[in-house]
Structure 1
Amino acid sequence: MRFTRSTIAALTSLLFATSLSAQSPGTTVEYQIEPGIHYLSDEVTSASEYAREKCRLDLYHPVGVKGFPTVVYYHGGGLTGGSRSIPTELKNRGWAVIGVSYRLSPVVKHPVYVEDAAAALAWTFKNIETYGGDPAKIFVTGISAGGYLTAMVGLDKSYLAKHDIDANRIAALIPVTGQMITHQTVRKEQGIEPSKFRPTIDQFAPLYHVRKDAPPTLCITGGWGVDMLMRAEENLYFVSMMKLVGHKDIRHIVIEGADHGRCGKECWPHVTKFIEQTLAGMRHP
């Protein structure tokens, strides 16, 4: 069969358009939001008005797609404030995104907020396949207090074990400017003062649970000396200890010159790149 020059040009344009459509997230995929899903049991939420209010998640997911990845996102706010959201930077990528809210101090005390974070993640593992997602492709991230929760549920396996889930099933952990020592709010609840400046490392510190078999991890912080409470230096110590115990896939990205707020705004290209790299490694082991 012979093709004219114009036919070849037309076919080339069609192939390019098809390739572009396949590579451009969100161009042909529809998304839906399932808001306010309770992730705790009816027994718990019916017994507590505060749990009924706070222990919810919003699920943003592709429609009519099978095997998509999911990103679970914990908001910041020092474990005393903040509200769940679906970060715009994670939308329209072919992924589901889950924004989690959890009970806060001082209404509750540690480790309730960590337990809530784990319960929301367990809900994801047990339910995402119903919506078309792949439970082997669940990523966890969060900023500030959310970064702390990310590290805690991923490193201390006891929280997910209560839901019969192995924390090593998490595809990757991406704590953003999170505390790796015991969180300052936990220290305050323990009566340690000044809680912001007197560091401790106990069972409520990600550093207490360093282990070589944890999921792939990317720590993102603001700049040396300018992120809140020397967060870059703190994360460097955590990453160093993880490497020391034999973890083979942990990285630390420092956004030079960025303070705490700026780090939260500028972290997303690093978050999405790490997710994409991890997914590519799953396809080509």
Structure 2
Amino acid sequence: MKRSFFLILVMCIGLPALAQDLSYTLEENIGYYNGLTDSQTDYQKERCKLDVYYPKDTTDVPVVVWFHGGGLEGGEKHIPDGLKEKGVVVVTVNYRLHPKVQHPVYIEDAAAAVAWTFKNIEKYHGDNNKIFVTGHSAGGYLASMVGLDTGYLSKYDIDANKIAGLIPFSGHSITHFTIRKEMGIPGTQAIVDEFAPLFHIRKDAPPMLLITGNRELEMLGRYEETAYFYRMMKVIGHPDVELMELDGYGHNMVYPAIPLLLNFAKEKSKE
């Protein structure tokens, strides 16, 4: 479902803030495997950390779990512009990277971070019934995989359907190109296997907002695979999935998409 740049701009300008005059604090470099597993590698201890940015003076706040992009080969946890002081708890996550690890470690790390969030976020004034999982590019891919393939979270006795919403920003719907590279498959050959969100379409998945840049400006095929994912989720009977294409933006479309994420979280938190 295509949205024009003008409509996006109106939505961004007119979007009410989720909070006013709250005081926020940041707790950094929390090891999210701590307490979830008995042993960790040195690289796991170094890399598998998250930050929590939360308001101090209120409770039961919606939570946004953010996975950075970087092709599963680079990137660092950060809070995107536009997510600060918006009445949400932000959990921003580092995960292990290629070539030091290979699939499915990236997805396993993402699931462990989401599991940590479910088990601990109330200490940071978040509501674990209002956890929204999102990220850009590779991070959007991880968000989709954790929310759609229920096996990753079930390892921690968490039902993936408890996620309040999945909001991948320009994430792969087919198998990620770095994983295809690890399997010796050319980047131009589309694969839909167990490492593809498209493989795991189901009508009982959490609500989804799919956001991409303009189809002519995006990475090769990214809009088209996302549109096909959207169509197949509708075909299978998913009741709450929407696709937005941001005119005027290519793959680097995080900033204009953030207000859409916040509006989605606000509306779903009311339900």
TM-score (norm 2): 0.91
Taking the aligned partners of 1:103 and 1:233, their CA distance within structure 2 comes to: 28
Equivalent residue in structure 2 for 1:88, among 81, 91, 113: 81
Match of residue 268, structure 1, among 258, 261, 270: 258
Please tell me whether residue 252 in structure 1 is matched to residue 243 in structure 2.
Answer: yes
Q: State yes or no: 1:137 paired with 2:127.
A: no
Identity of matched residues, %: 50
How many residues are treated as equivalent by the alignment?
256
Retained in 1: the 8 A contact 2:20–2:87? no
SS in 2 for 1:125: helix
The structure 1 residue matched to 2:145, chosen from 143, 152, 167, is 152
- 1:237-266: CA deviation from partner (whole Å, max 9, x where unpaired): 0000001110010000001232112x2232
Aligned pairs for 1:1-285 (under 5 A) are 25=18, 27-41=20-34, 47-192=40-185, 194=186, 196-261=187-252, 263-280=253-270, 282=271
What is the root-mean-square deviation in Å for CA atoms of aligned residues?
1.6
> 5+ residue gaps in structure 1?
1-22
- In 2: Cα distance, 1:202 partner to 1:222 partner: 25
Select the structure with the greater relative contact order (CA < 8 A; seq sep ≥ 6): 2
Task: Tell me, yes or no, if the aligned pair for 2:18 and 2:266 is still in contact at 8 Å.
Answer: no
Greater Cα shift, 41-50 or 246-255: 41-50
Q: Residue 131 of structure 2 contacts residue 163 of structure 2 at CA under 8 Å; is this kept in 1?
A: yes
- Give, in angstroms, the shift of residue 41 of structure 1: 3.0
| Structure 2 portions without partners, runs of 5+ | 1-15
Larger deviation: 154-163 or 224-233? 224-233
Instruction: Answer with 155-164 or 47-56: which moved more.
Output: 47-56
Inter-CA distance 64–257: structure 2 relative to 1 (3 Å threshold): closer
1:204–1:24 CA distance, 2 compared to 1 (3 A): closer
Higher helix share: 1
- Return the index of the structure with the highest Cα Rg: 1
Q: Which runs of 4+ in 1 moved over 6 A?
A: none
Are the counterparts in 2 of residues 138 and 170 from structure 1 also a CA contact under 8 Å? yes
CA distance in 2, matches of 1:25, 1:264: 19
Q: Conserved in 1, the CA contact under 8 Å of 2:18 and 2:88?
A: no
SS at match of 1:88: coil
